Amino acid sequence: MREHFQLRVTVAAIIEQHGRFLLVEEVTSDGLRLNNPAGHLDPGESPVAGCVRETLEETAHGFPPTALGGVYLSRQERADGEDLTYLRFAFCGDFGAADPDRSLDTGIVRTLWMTAAEIRATTERHRSPLLLRCVEDYLAGRRYPLALVYTDPSVYQADGPLSRP
Q: Output the average pLDDT for the chain.
A: 92
**Confidence band, pLDDT 50/70/90 cuts, at residue 81:** confident
Pairing of strands 31-35, 20-28: antiparallel
**Confidence band, pLDDT 50/70/90 cuts, at residue 88:** very high
Average pLDDT over residues 3-12: 84
SS3 of 132, please?
Answer: helix
Distance CA 25, CA 140 (A): 25
Q: Is the dihedral of CA 151, 157, 160, 165 positive or negative?
A: negative
Cα angle vertex 116, ends 149, 107, to 5°?
A: 70
Q: Show the beta-strand stretches assigned E in 18-128.
A: 20-28, 31-35, 38-40, 65-77, 83-93, 108-115
Q: What is the pLDDT of residues 46-74, one digit of tens each?
A: 999 999 999 999 999 999 999 999 999 99
Report pLDDT for 165: 42
- Given a cut of 70, whether residue 153 has pLDDT beyond it is yes
* Short-list 159, 119, 153, CA closest to 139: 119
**Confidence band, pLDDT 50/70/90 cuts, at residue 108:** very high
Q: What is the pLDDT of residues 17-34, one digit of tens each?
A: 999 999 999 999 889 999
SS3 of 63, please?
Answer: coil
Distance CA 142, CA 131 (A): 15
The phi-psi region of residue 116 (left if phi > 0; otherwise alpha if psi is between -120 and 50; otherwise beta) is alpha
Q: Domains in the chain and their CATH numbers?
A: 7-143 (3.90.79.10)
Its pTM stands at 0.89
At 87, the amino acid letter reads L
Burial 116-152 (b: 16+ CB within 10 A, else e): beebeeeeebbbbebbbbbbebbeeebbeebeebeee
